[in-house]
Structure 1
Amino acid sequence: MSPLAFSLALAAAFLHAFWNLLLARARDPESATAVALVAAVVVFAPVTALTFDAEWAVWPFIVVTSMLQLVYFALLATAYRKAELSFVYPVARGVAPVLVLVVSVAVLGHGTSVAQVVGVLLVGAGVLLVRGLKRPPDPHALWFALGIAAVIASYTLLDKRGITHASPVTYLELSMIPAAAGYAIAVVVAKGSRAVRAELGLSSVVAGLLSFAAYALVLAALERASAASVAAVRETSVVIATAFAAVVLHEQVSRWRVLGSATVVCGIGLLALR
């Protein structure tokens, strides 16, 4: 993995953790997410128009990844109703890079190194340790979290190929328009427009802009490195989010989370090797 790709993926992890922190602090996270997605699509529309770069071959990828993004948000919202953020987020983000590696090697026939395999597995193990081993009250929450991981792995592998037919900003804007519209409409129908308007504010808008920028960085990294490596480095956002929770929200950080953080650091160190 090149230093540039590594830096892009790690920057994306920081931005991803931060915009999740902003949404987690919202009074109504679902409505805040709807505002964030629509704001991101609207703000980046002029940028996309001025820098539009896409081939006709990109459209099948856009259609499928848009559907996956919509499923992702639907599963995420359901999972958060069944379990806490500290359970769902690390499981989903930690299992995803392991799935990417398995599919890349077993199904797509991509080559990999011993260091990369060990690195991906260490990152996956580390983020699970950060989460802890306590089961949530609702046993179905685990299946929703694993479903989210499968969706993340799916659009990561898909976007690895789709990004070859468009620039990162163009690709992301085109894929997010249907997903953002579908999610926002669903939230309005379920909660009413008043609930969404109540979350109109700087925090939600900034969260949306950062979410767009974070995935644009991921797409740029996918142009320069394997999907497994990018996915693994990106999932260090779990550790970063834990640090934000300790510093900003003053949460207790257990020894298991410290051990998990150290494991993740070792994993991404191996991924940085050529």
Structure 2
Amino acid sequence: MDSMVFFAVLGAAILHASWNALVKIGGDRFIALSVIVIFSGVISLAGIFFVDLPSINALPWLLLSVGFHTGYCLFLSKAYELADFSQIYPISRGVAPLLSALLSWLILAEIPQPVALLGAIILIGGVLMMAFDGRRSSNKMPGKAIVCALITATFTACYTLSDGAGGRATTDPISYILWLFMLNGLMMFILLWLRHRRIIFREIRKSWRPGIMGGAMQLLAYGVVIWAMKTTPIALVAALRETSVLFAMVISVWMLKERPSRLRIAASAVIMTGVLVTKSG
């Protein structure tokens, strides 16, 4: 994997874990997530005047992806209402790269080089170890939380594949990224309006600082991923992106005061091994 792509995706992983932590720290999870996505859309709206319209070839992928991202937001916010950040995050992220790799192979006939593929498998194995650790926590996850986390992972895999194909179908990936987040923000504003129309503007005013911060992190984090998938196999980018569970563990210990188990520490070592093997491939 190219070094620039490698370190850019690692940076995106840090940003992804950070904005997810903002959702968990907030009060109502749906409102907190919606405000972040809305501000991400506002930032994107300011940029679409300087880029072209999405290309015709990328438009079907763009519209399909908006639906997948909306489903992801709905189920992720619900999962965070039902269980801890350190439980939900590894499961929702751990299953996604497996599904992304399978879908990219079945739909795009894309298979990474053997060494890089081995690294991705090791990395995913470490992520799943963390997910298992969350499942066997003393604070047991309710079954509904697991279902929501798994559905979230499915939406993640679907939008990863859709955006990977959309980014490749357009001549200007920045245009695709900005239009995607602008439309995502619009969709979440509509949903927030339908569910909380009496308090929507009060909540936006109250949460505008973390909203702007989270929105900027979300836009940059996933924008980098779409850019990376234009030239790098989708399965590798999806797997490397899930190093975010390492950074999520640091956040859960540092900010949320959650103590890591031995299994989680061992999983971190496995993930780092997978990262190094993936880089060498």
- Structure 1 CA distance for aligned equivalents of residues 48 and 70 of structure 2: 21
Q: Which amino acid in structure 1 is aligned with residue 145 of structure 2?
A: A
Does structure 1 residue 260 correspond to structure 2 residue 267? yes
Task: Report 1:213-232 matches (<5 A).
Answer: 213-232=220-239
CA distance in 1, matches of 2:113, 2:55: 33
8 Å CA contact 2:126–2:271 kept in 1: the answer is yes
* Structure 2: distance between partners of 1:94 and 1:35: 25
Q: Given residue 187 of structure 1, which amino acid in structure 2 is its aligned partner?
A: L
Q: Residue 88 of structure 2 corresponds to which residue in structure 1?
A: 88
Structure 2 partner of 1:19: 19
* Counterpart residue type for residue 103 of structure 1: L
Aligned counterparts, 1:1-274, within 5 A: 1-52=1-52, 54-131=54-131, 132=133, 133-134=135-136, 136-164=140-168, 165-194=170-199, 197-198=202-203, 199-274=206-281
Instruction: Choose 220-229 or 197-206, whichever is displaced more.
Output: 197-206
Q: Can you list the C-alpha shifts for 1:101-155, whole angstroms capped at 9, x where unaligned? A: 2223345322333323322222222122223142744223322222221211111
SS of residue matched to 1:272 = helix
After superposition, what is the alpha-carbon deviation per residue over 1:225-270, rounded to whole angstroms, capped at 9, x for unaligned? Answer: 1101100111111110111221233321111111111111011111
AA aligned opposite 2:212:
V
Query: Which has the higher mean CA deviation after the structures are superposed, 208-217 or 243-252?
Result: 243-252
Q: Is the 1:160–1:227 Cα contact (8 Å) retained in structure 2?
A: yes
Structure-1 separation of matches of 2:221 and 2:106: 29
Letter of the aligned partner of 2:215 in structure 1? Answer: G
Does the aligned pair in 1 maintain the 2:125–2:270 contact within 8 Å?
yes
* Cα shift at 1:195: 5.4
**Separation in 1, partners of 2:234, 2:174:** 18
Change (3 A) 1:108 1:52: closer
CA shift, 1:166, in A, is 4.4
- What per-residue deviation string (whole Å, max 9, x for no partner) do you get for residues 4-43 of structure 1? 1111211110111111122221123321222211111112
Give distance in 2, aligned partners of 1:102 and 1:58. Answer: 22
Structure 1 distance, partners of 2:108, 2:51, is 32
Report the identity percentage: 27
TM-score (norm 2): 0.89
Alpha-carbon distance in structure 1 between the residues aligned to 2:161 and 2:278? 18
TM score, norm. by length of structure 1: 0.91
CA RMSD, 1 decimal:
2.0
In the alignment, structure 1 segments of 5+ residues that lack a partner are none
Q: C-alpha displacement at 1:156, in angstroms?
A: 1.1
Give unpaired runs (5+ residues) of structure 2: none
d(CA) in 1 for partners of 2:153 and 2:77?
A: 14
More displaced 10-residue stretch of structure 1: 112-121 or 188-197: 188-197
